[in-house]
Amino acid sequence: MDRTFLMVKPDGVQRGLIGEVIARFEAKGLKMVAGKFEMLPEERVMEHYAEHAAKPFFPGLKSYIMSGPCFLMVFEGKDVVAVTRKMIGATNPAEAEPGTIRGDFAMEIGMNVIHGSDSYETAEREIGIHFRPEEIISYERADEKYLYE
Ligand code: DAT
Ligand code: MG
């Protein structure tokens, strides 16, 4: 089954949005197969955001992402990367559609509540950075026969 890496960022945690974010993915029919609450260590932030390390916004991004605990997750489901990116909305919350997480819950690009992998290649890489294989649990959700034809 397709997998992605999702993370409620420090603003989402501080604003009490962990449950709201998880509820949206759960209600959609996506399955959480791993989850943990932690402060991201600097090495993992550097690895996770390697593609942005040279950009002018990186110092701000790094201090924001390390400013408080995050909630890290792996979700499974059909087309999970495309589905979750759509549910998350545009990177800049000012441009994100209503009904999306960023469109409904955030104001500015520097604090946009949630991270989601943008491809299966990225997802595999990010899952590998943040989770050990034994932290990911495969199981059947009771409602799967009413979610998939
Ligand atoms: P996304 O999180 O939608 O995948 P991204 O990978 O391009 O977006 O950027 C990662 C994060 O970096 C993004 O969630 C917020 C921050 N960011 C991106 N572009 C930025 C910019 N121009 N100014 C400030 N922060 C930015
Ligand atoms: Mg990205």
Whether 115 is catalytic = yes
Please report, as a single letter, which amino acid is at residue 79: D
Residue to mutate, 7, 8, 21, 61, ligand 1, most ligand atoms under 8 Å from C-beta: 61
Kindly give the number of the ligand 1 atom that is closest to the alpha carbon of 115: 2
Q: Is 132 annotated as a binding residue?
A: no
Contact yes or no for 2/105 (Cβ under 8 A): no
Distance from the alpha carbon of residue 46 to the mean position of ligand 2, in angstroms: 14
Both structure tokens of 91: 């990177």
What angle separates helix 18-28 from helix 80-88, to the nearest 10 degrees?
140
Can you read off the two tokens belonging to residue 7? 């993370």
Q: Which domains does the chain have, with CATH numbers?
A: 2-139 (3.30.70.141)
**Distance from Cα 107 to the centre of ligand 2, integer Å:** 18
Regarding an ipTM greater than 0.90, the answer is: yes
Please identify, by atom number, the ligand 1 atom nearest to the C-alpha of residue 9: 14
Question: Which residues, in sequence order, are bridge partners of residue 7?
Answer: 72, 115
Q: What is the reported pLDDT for 1?
A: 84
pLDDT, residue 17, reads 99
CA 109 / ligand 1 centre spacing (Å): 7
Nearest CA to ligand 1 atom 14: 91
Tell me the whole-structure pTM to 2 decimals.
0.98
Specify the pLDDT at position 111: 98
Q: Is the distance from CB of 4 to CB of 112 less than 8 angstroms?
A: no
pLDDT reported for residue 112: 98
Q: Is 57 annotated as a binding residue?
A: yes
Do the bridges between strand 31-38 and strand 114-116 make them parallel or antiparallel, or are there none, so unpaired? unpaired
pLDDT along the chain (149 residues), means of 10: 97 98 98 98 98 98 98 98 98 98 98 98 98 98 96
